[in-house]
Structure 1
Amino acid sequence: MSSKNIKLSIFLCLSMCLGIGILRFSYTALLPSTREAFGWSAGFASILGSANLLGYLIGAFWAMRLPQTKIMTRYIQIAAITGMFSLLCCAFSDFAKVWYIFWRVVSGVSGGLLMILSPSVVAQCCDLQDRFKINFIGFSGIGIGVLLATLFLPYLDQISTQTAWLILCSFALIICIGLSSLLQQFKHQLFTQANQSSTEVRLNTLFYSLLIAYASSAFAYIPHSLFWIDYLSHELGLSLFWINFNWILYGLGSALGAFTAYALARKFGNFTSLKILYSLYIMAIFIATLSLNPLLTFASSFFTGMLNPAVVFLTSYTILQLYGVAYKKLWSIATLSFASVQLIGGLSFSTLQHFSVTYHQQFLLASFILLLGTLQLAWHTRSKHCKRTQQTL
């Protein structure tokens, strides 16, 4: 790889690591200890989770409205810095509840901006033949960020919760410095005026099929991303060691997600790989209901962790390959749809819990919704035309 491509890969990796891995999943990883240390109720902890999802939705909508010009670099820097401060402000107890709600919304907004704007910068600055490898390395940052958020779990009985949040804040500060340095080298390659061609793209059923499948995955992964630890603790009665072990497996799976999608796409093409990934995703969620053997729980943790970033990466890259310069607009639509369904799903599953719907029933519902999304994707990509559009790189 050339020096420019290495820098683009590092830039995207850092953005995904901060925007999704740390700003989104650090809360889930640290939630049990934070609840205990700060005296939060289960209801308030759920509200904070929804606040982050709301912020992600706002960030995705905001990013969609921004022109695809040099202004994106300014917003990326602002998003990274405010995201770092959101971690800092969640490290201290005894503030009013609205304080934590505000900063979890800010964290979500930052994540939404980074998720859309950073890949858009890369799409402008890299050559066509280098896109796949750069995006694969870059989207691996999601898994790396999740893995960083899980590294504290075995040591939370030795360090304070506040210290864990501050360490994450330090990671975010280092990433902010790296992003600012790298962005200065890409500015001259970005558009100085908005490119109008992105508004002229003709969408077809293929894009909407990708969108539906992607949105269904947003709904399906809610139980694991919000309630998995609570399920392991209260439903299965696992000890802290085994809860931490399951979450570390989730982080390890996340770190391998983009690589798995990359390897499959090289061998089978984008659409076939997406159908394979979604099928595995359905099984990974479903086996969470089979708690007879701990190995099934381990497998569910690992594969749900792996398949979420795998699907995100390959969906993003497929849209980039199919629609080129319209990527930012269409990836914004996809992310906005993902965020909307994610928020609705979070509220829906919280409501189901209120009405005493069991975790097993929630996992079944999640896997069923993803099954519907996968079936319609398989239907719309069965034609010879779709097979010709697949990219086997």
Structure 2
Amino acid sequence: MSVERDMPGGLWRLPLAGAVALLLGVGFGRYVFTPLITPLVEAGWFSAQQTARLGAINLLGYLIGAAGANRYAHWLGPRRAIASCLIALVASLAACAWPWGMIGYGFWRLLAGMAAATLTIVVTPAIMARMPEARRPGASATIFTGIGVGTMGVSLIVPWLASFGVGATWLATAAIGAVLAGVSWLGVWRYLPGEAPADTPRQSTSRTPATPWAIIALVIVAYGLSSAGYVPHSLYWVDYIARELGRGLETGNRYWLVLGVGGVIGPALAGAAARRLGFDTALVLAFVLMTLATALPLAFVGVAGLGISSLVVGAMVPAIITLTAGTVHALAPVPRQRQIWGWATLSFAATQAVGGFAMARLYAAAGTYTVPIAAGAAILLVATGCSLAGAIGAHRRRSDRGQKR
């Protein structure tokens, strides 16, 4: 049943609730740790190498959450699954206010990653199932914008809060997170059904063309590699600018804010590009831009170089998510779209987790963030090649189908 007929207010309130859920899950649950790395090191809670491992543990939690999100949602239903994740995220933020050591801190960072991944996977399809088809592109853009808003919000409030101490910062973010969780839950509770997700696609009685598995595999591989290429910016960007480049924490957080601004505009840019170029071609362009922006600090670490890298990488991450989802929707038959998107999300999480631990080892061995940044750019170059091959295959497939008609 569509939300348009029985609850007109849900046309904007439900996507907004989803955006707030991702704001809390990804913006706070994952990215609040990035601008706190330097304060954690300076406060003596952890070494730089230990914070890198904690960042990787958070990515491992994201992988675990991605692997089990669909079963968890079917077990509890979407509303309860979302509620439990919102509660877990607020609890993890509050718990990090105490120096538990690597094991205790690692547990809470792991839990935050699991909850963030579950929200990312469960929220969007549950909401899309309630939206009329004409409203789905706008609703999707609204939901994914929450990630960028969360990143930008973190970059604004965490530096100011850090002056009151690491523990006070975590407690303050937990309090803000509790408010966000309440706002999100009000929309979810009112406009989502309590039963299992109703977005299972109906079997079509018409004959559908063969699924282009090779093309879909290339898209999934490219999407997975993009997450590993993003690890240096998502985990080390602030500390790289603050300590390694010697610019200070305040400057590092300013560039993190720029990255968050990019995350806000990225989904809108992706939608505009897709309308003009098509999803697959726009996806290749997004990969090219992200690769160049990731590699830019290897040559230019001035204001322009760091600013462009922050803005473009921040914008291309949600753009690639949006464009990959659109490409899968265009290529996959309706009965398999949810399953294939699940594979893509799992690929993203798995590669991100492996990349997080690998980048941490690279940093520990090299003693500089330049090596992980270079590795990230190299990975994104491979992803660009995969997306290009996939786009060429998709164009040929459309051309062949047009000739047969």
TM (normalized to structure 1)?
0.89
Deviates more, 1:4-13 or 1:179-188: 179-188
- 1:229 maps to 2:238: yes
- 1:380 maps to 2:365: no
| Aligned equivalent of 1:172, options 169, 177, 182 | 177
Question: What residue number does 2:360 align with?
Answer: 350
Q: Cα offset for 1:363?
A: 2.5
- Kept in 2, the 8 Å contact 1:125–1:189? The answer is no
| Aligned equivalent of 1:371, options 352, 364, 381 | 381
- AA partner of residue 254 (structure 1): G
Deviates more, 1:72-81 or 1:310-319: 310-319
- Kept in 1, the 8 Å contact 2:78–2:122? The answer is yes
CA distance in 2, matches of 1:193, 1:283: 41
- AA partner of residue 227 (structure 2): A
- 1:77 maps to 2:77: no
Q: Cα offset for 1:111?
A: 0.5
- Structure 2 unaligned residues grouped into runs of 5+: none
CA distance in 2, matches of 1:307, 1:250: 10
Question: What residue number does 2:315 align with?
Answer: 306
Cα 1:386/1:70, change in 2 over 3 Å = farther
Q: For residues 277-322 of structure 1, give each alpha carbon's deviation from its aligned partner in whole angstroms, at most 9, with x where no partner exists.
A: 1110011011110135331112112211221122122223433455
- Kept in 1, the 8 Å contact 2:265–2:315? The answer is yes
Question: What residue number does 1:207 align with?
Answer: 216
Question: What residue number does 1:265 align with?
Answer: 274
- Kept in 1, the 8 Å contact 2:256–2:310? The answer is yes
CA distance in 1, matches of 2:197, 2:225: 36
- Kept in 2, the 8 Å contact 1:218–1:338? The answer is yes
Question: What residue number does 1:296 align with?
Answer: 305
Q: Cα offset for 1:208?
A: 1.2
Question: What residue number does 1:40 align with?
Answer: 46
- Give SS of 2:246's match: coil
- Kept in 1, the 8 Å contact 2:79–2:193? The answer is no
Question: What residue number does 2:144 align with?
Answer: 139
Deviates more, 1:366-375 or 1:233-242: 233-242
Q: Cα offset for 1:258?
A: 1.5
Cα 1:177/1:325, change in 2 over 3 Å = farther
CA distance in 2, matches of 1:153, 1:193: 38
Cα 1:150/1:196, change in 2 over 3 Å = closer
Where do residues 72-111 of structure 1 align in structure 2 (5 Å cutoff)?
A: 72-93=78-99, 95-111=100-116
Q: Cα offset for 1:203?
A: 6.1
| Aligned equivalent of 2:348, options 319, 338, 349 | 338
| Aligned equivalent of 2:131, options 126, 133, 150 | 126
- Kept in 2, the 8 Å contact 1:63–1:117? The answer is yes
Cα 1:368/1:204, change in 2 over 3 Å = same
- Kept in 2, the 8 Å contact 1:132–1:317? The answer is no
- AA partner of residue 148 (structure 2): G
Question: What residue number does 2:228 align with?
Answer: 219
Aligned length: 387
Question: What residue number does 1:16 align with?
Answer: 22
CA distance in 2, matches of 1:371, 1:239: 31
CA distance in 2, matches of 1:348, 1:202: 34
- AA partner of residue 125 (structure 2): S
- Structure 1 unaligned residues grouped into runs of 5+: none
Question: What residue number does 1:25 align with?
Answer: 31
Q: For residues 167-220 of structure 1, give each alpha carbon's deviation from its aligned partner in whole angstroms, at most 9, with x where no partner exists.
A: 22122212222232222233449657895868x995622321211111111111
Cα 1:278/1:144, change in 2 over 3 Å = same
- Kept in 2, the 8 Å contact 1:64–1:328? The answer is no
- Kept in 2, the 8 Å contact 1:215–1:341? The answer is yes
Cα 1:106/1:44, change in 2 over 3 Å = same
Cα 1:211/1:62, change in 2 over 3 Å = same
CA distance in 2, matches of 1:216, 1:96: 31
- Give SS of 1:39's match: coil
Q: Cα offset for 1:377?
A: 1.7
Cα 1:44/1:388, change in 2 over 3 Å = farther
- Give SS of 1:355's match: helix
- Kept in 2, the 8 Å contact 1:141–1:255? The answer is yes
CA distance in 2, matches of 1:193, 1:24: 29
Q: Cα offset for 1:117?
A: 0.4
- AA partner of residue 37 (structure 1): A
Q: For residues 351-389 of structure 1, give each alpha carbon's deviation from its aligned partner in whole angstroms, at most 9, with x where no partner exists.
A: 222332754343233222212221222122222435799
- 1:284 maps to 2:293: yes
TM (normalized to structure 2)?
0.87
Where do residues 48-87 of structure 1 align in structure 2 (5 Å cutoff)?
A: 48-66=54-72, 71-87=77-93
Q: Cα offset for 1:129?
A: 1.8
Q: Percent identity?
A: 27
Where do residues 110-121 of structure 1 align in structure 2 (5 Å cutoff)?
A: 110-121=115-126
